[in-house]
């Protein structure tokens, strides 16, 4: 990157150099005409310099733009990588709209900061010094007067830039809040329509948009002040030079050709001064954006290192095969969810049930290491899961979350996501096993049928069965299922349950559910309540021994 920037800087300086040669050629042309020696050679030279300047300017702008886009790509790639490597809980705390704003618009501001500030902002002072030196060859007194005007204008501009920085940061934050609100509404669009809250939600999002507008207007005001300072400074310099030059010509102390060359240099000062102004503005905006981008890049990655102490501590007695939780406590943000949970989940179908919000999904998160236990240990086939790399652990697990996202443009991509499957026959057999063969046969392009990313064209039950099919194609040692039958009718549930039971003969299947029909078929039912294991056994045993389970089961049956 350093070599590329150096090359761009040299190219930019060459393009400026070709421009600065023009006033000297114009002076030579005017002096030749005054001396009666003809103007042909001067015109040819002036045309050649103008063409060279245009070619260099085009080349400089193109490669500078390309370099800026490379910076944007690098920033976006880094942010996406940082987000996807982070812990689940860390990412879920970030408002989605704000994250999208940082990856999208903030990285664009970085491009301008790099292009305008690092290259043009570096070249401009050098060009400014060269221009001033060339002007000084004509008249030192006029140069000193103009430098005084520049100092006054730069001071006013610096004060405005401080305000611009504050306003830009506030604008980007307001934009992130607006996008977060809009994203929340779009995700729950059906609910918004069903409850007739369109106007209420519109007021909320538009209110945030108005906040972004107010901050944007504030930023635009200070940006205009910065531009105005630069413009007024340049106009004052030109008019001062014109007045002083005219007086010198009248007094006979300056040739007309020198004044023309001097005024051309004053006009050409607009380019480096403007570049410095834009660079300062871009730096101000870029620093605000950089802070927001760095907050994403600074998100710590999910560690892959072993917890040596936990991995090496002996387990007495040795944990059996399957999943074992030993005195596990865990929670979120200081709020305890599970407390002292000890549990053995053997091969077969184990169902987790209990009231809502008492830690069933949290227990699945512990097995996947989306969350680490604050106390206690979790074992998989006798190994402490903290002794395994996360990617190694998760290759042995297949997880179906309650929302069951599609994660693919077609049926084939959705079902094969993360599985590496290439055999269409295996895919079709798996879809048949989860009860989707008839539905698939009715689709216009079969496995290549496009599905909407938010499942508008796929029902909730179909989405859940596609997610289960995806988990089965992973051929994992453990299936973790979170309410995978919650949106199925009785017939579809029966078909899917038969498949799950068949899978449970060869592996551990741990399923969170409130469905009594699933619990009846389970090898083991675990009842959680208030963060602890309240009871465990077969359905019939718990119906006799556990009043809470009996009440939950009776309520489900009577629905």
Is the pLDDT assigned to residue 208 strictly greater than 70?
A: yes
Which residue in 454, 427, 458 sits closest to 442, CA to CA?
458
Is the pLDDT assigned to residue 68 strictly greater than 90?
A: no
In sequence order, what are the residues at sequence separation of 6 or more whose Cβ sits closer than 8 angstroms to the Cβ of residue 121? 275, 276, 279, 280, 282, 283
Is the pLDDT assigned to residue 360 strictly greater than 50?
A: yes
In sequence order, what are the residues at sequence separation of 6 or more whose Cβ sits closer than 8 angstroms to the Cβ of residue 423? none
User: Confidence class of residue 223 from pLDDT cuts 50, 70 and 90?
Assistant: confident
CA distances from 531 to 232, 328, 504, 524 (A): 70, 10, 26, 19
User: Confidence class of residue 232 from pLDDT cuts 50, 70 and 90?
Assistant: confident
Separation of alpha carbons 165 and 134, rounded Å = 35
Which residue in 313, 306, 367, 314 sits closest to 511, CA to CA?
367
The domains of the chain, with CATH numbers, are 2-297 (1.20.1560.10), 317-558 (3.40.50.300)
Q: What is the pLDDT of residue 430?
A: 92
Question: Which two structure tokens, joined as six digits, stand for 529?
Answer: 């309540």
In sequence order, what are the residues at sequence separation of 6 or more whose Cβ sits closer than 8 angstroms to the Cβ of residue 25? 42, 45, 46, 49
User: Confidence class of residue 308 from pLDDT cuts 50, 70 and 90?
Assistant: very low
Residue 245 exposure: Cα atoms within 13 Å on the Cβ side: 22
Q: Average pLDDT in the 59-79 region? A: 79
Q: Average pLDDT in the 96-101 region? A: 70
3-class secondary structure per residue, 432-446:
HHCCCHHHHHCCCCH
Which residue in 14, 8, 230, 225 sits closest to 114, CA to CA?
8
Write out the DSSP string of 517-549: HHHHH-SEEEEEETTEEEEEE-HHHHHHH-HHH
Q: Average pLDDT in the 134-162 region? A: 82
Separation of alpha carbons 26 and 45, rounded Å = 9
Q: What is the pLDDT of residue 559?
A: 42
Helices 198-251 and 270-297 sit at what angle, rounded to 10 degrees? Answer: 150
pLDDT digits (tens, 9 = 90+) for 493-542: 899 999 999 989 889 999 998 888 889 999 999 999 988 998 999 999 99
Q: What is the pLDDT of residue 558?
A: 41
- Strand bridging mode 323-332 / 375-380: antiparallel
373 touches 328 (CB < 8 A): yes
Q: Which long-range contacts (CB under 8 A, 24 or more apart) does 490-496 make?
A: 490/517, 492/435, 492/461, 492/465, 493/517, 493/518, 495/434, 495/435, 496/434, 496/435, 496/465, 496/468
pLDDT digits (tens, 9 = 90+) for 244-263: 888 888 888 888 888 888 88
Q: What is the pLDDT of residue 542?
A: 92
Separation of alpha carbons 31 and 25, rounded Å = 10
Question: How does DSSP classify residue 348?
Answer: E
Separation of alpha carbons 167 and 287, rounded Å = 12
Which residue in 433, 404, 425, 435 sits closest to 499, CA to CA?
433
Question: Which two structure tokens, joined as six digits, stand for 488?
Answer: 């199925």
Which residue in 501, 494, 502, 492 sits closest to 466, CA to CA?
492
348 strand-pairing partners: 508
Separation of alpha carbons 480 and 20, rounded Å = 71
- Strand bridging mode 383-384 / 335-345: unpaired
79 touches 102 (CB < 8 A): yes
Separation of alpha carbons 174 and 13, rounded Å = 39
Q: What is the pLDDT of residue 221?
A: 86
Q: How many CB atoms lie within 10 A of CB 428?
A: 17
């Amino acid at each position: 990157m350093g070599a590329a920037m150096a090359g761009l800087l040299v190219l930019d300086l060459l393009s400026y150099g070709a421009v600065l040669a023009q006033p000297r050629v114009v002076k030579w042309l005017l002096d030749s005409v005054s001396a009666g020696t003809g103007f042909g050679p001067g015109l040819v030279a002036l045309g050649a310099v103008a063409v060279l300047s245009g070619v260099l300017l085009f080349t400089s702008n193109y490669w500078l733009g390309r370099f800026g886009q490379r910076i944007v790509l690098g920033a976006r790639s880094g942010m996406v990588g940082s987000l996807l490597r982070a812990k689940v809980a860390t990412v879920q705390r970030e408002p989605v709209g704000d994250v999208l704003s940082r990856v999208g618009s903030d990285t664009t501001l970085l491009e301008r900061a790099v292009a305008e500030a690092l290259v043009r902002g570096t070249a401009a002072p050098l060009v400014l010094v060269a221009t001033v030196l060339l002007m000084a060859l004509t008249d030192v007194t006029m140069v000193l007067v103009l430098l005084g005007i520049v100092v006054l204008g730069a001071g006013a501009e610096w004060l405005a830039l401080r305000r611009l920085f504050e306003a830009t940061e506030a604008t980007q934050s307001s934009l992130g809040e607006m996008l977060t609100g809009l994203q929340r509404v779009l995700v729950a669009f059906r609910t918004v329509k069903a409850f007739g809250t369109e106007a209420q939600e519109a007021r909320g999002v538009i209110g945030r948009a108005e906040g972004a507008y107010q901050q944007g207007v504030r930023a635009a005001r200070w940006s205009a002040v910065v531009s105005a300072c630069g413009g007024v400074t340049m106009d004052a310099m030109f008019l001062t030079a014109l007045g002083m030059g005219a007086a010198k010509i009248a007094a006979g102390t300056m040739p007309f050709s020198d004044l023309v060359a001097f005024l051309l240099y004053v006009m050409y000062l607009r380019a480096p001064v403007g570049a410095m102004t834009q660079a300062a503005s871009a730096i101000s905006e870029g620093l605000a954006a950089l802070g927001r981008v760095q907050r994403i890049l600074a998100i710590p990655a999910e560690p892959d290192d072993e917890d040596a102490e936990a991995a090496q501590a002996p387990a007495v007695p040795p944990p059996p095969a399957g999943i074992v939780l030993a005195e596990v406590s865990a929670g979120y943000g200081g709020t305890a969810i599970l407390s002292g949970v000890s549990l053995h989940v053997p091969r077969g179908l184990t169902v987790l049930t209990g009231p809502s919000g008492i830690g069933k999904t949290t227990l699945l998160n512990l097995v996947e290491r989306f969350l680490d236990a604050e106390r206690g240990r979790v074992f998989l086939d006798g190994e402490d899961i903290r002794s395994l790399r996360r990617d190694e652990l998760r290759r042995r697990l297949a997880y179906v979350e309650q929302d069951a996202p599609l994660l693919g443009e077609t049926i084939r991509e959705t079902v094969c996501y993360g599985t590496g499957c290439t055999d269409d026959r295996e895919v079709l057999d798996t879809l048949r096993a989860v009860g989707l063969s008839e539905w698939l046969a009715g689709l216009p392009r079969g496995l290549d049928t496009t599905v909407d990313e938010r499942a508008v064209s796929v029902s909730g039950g179909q989405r859940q069965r596609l997610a289960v099919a995806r988990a089965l194609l992973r051929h994992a040692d453990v299936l973790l299922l979170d309410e995978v039958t919650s949106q199925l009718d009785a017939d579809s549930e029966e078909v899917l349950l038969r498949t799950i039971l068949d899978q449970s003969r060869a592996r551990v299947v741990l399923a969170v559910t409130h469905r009594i029909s699933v619990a009846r078929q389970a090898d083991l039912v675990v009842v959680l309540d208030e963060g602890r294991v309240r009871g465990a056994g077969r359905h019939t045993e718990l119906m006799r021994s556990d009043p809470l389970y009996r009440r939950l089961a009776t309520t489900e049956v009577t629905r």
